[in-house]
Amino acid sequence: MVKLVLIRHGESVWNKLNEFTGWVDVPLSKLGIKQAISAGKKLEKTKIRFDSIYTSELVRAHQTLFHILEQFNFENIVYHVDDPYLEKMTKHKMNIKELPIYKTIAFNERHYGDLQGQNKDEMRKQYGLEKVELWRRSYDIKPPHGESLKDTLERVLPYFKKFVLTDLKNKKNVMIVAHGNSLRGITKHLEKISNKDIPHYEIPLGIPIIYDLDSKMKIKSKSVLDSKCKL
């Protein structure tokens, strides 16, 4: 069996302010940093050794991944695959073991369009509770100039199937650090969750979810590592 670990980034400063974030590049809050460190410590205790890592292009996911990797005693060098200097070093056959980290826009959070940067409670006052909840919790209804959950999943899944599933089928352990809605797409595919149920499926901030998958990519077990933190 191989392992797939999914981690939603820790709390961002806009999560804390109850604002729609989407593709706006905001950093982690103090609590978010603590959540990421705690997640890394929990993962390190599992003794899982990863062969590839995937993340979005947004800084809150990168920060989360950085703090997670800080907790591991890696013998290999961690690098981004688009770093020409380290790629040149490997070509010279130096004694370097590679742990590639792939950044992709495909795993970005759902784009909330005109709602981005707006307070959720203020938007409920402006547009009405029913309409805002429809934008947030329906499967295929878009906020103004934004993506529906369906749009997000259609962006996530082709990349996941082409690259991540290929790694898993090649017996590589994979970690993905991304966002609530992009991870919903992966979870929907793995767990065969219906279109009706997936908008209400919650993925907690900063808590690793571990899947054991067999050779046919069927789930043999699933575990959630609690990583509660206090400021």
- What are the catalytic residues? 9, 109
Single-letter residue type at 96: I
Within 8 A by CB and 6+ apart from 26, the residues are 12, 13, 14, 59, 60
For 32, 101, 107, 120, 225, the CA distances from 68, given in Å and listed in that order, are 12, 13, 18, 29, 13
Length of the chain: 231
CB atoms within 10 A of CB 153: 24
Three-class secondary structure of residue 2 per DSSP: strand
Residue 37 parent element (H or E): helix 30-46
CA–CA separation, 191 and 123 (whole Å): 33
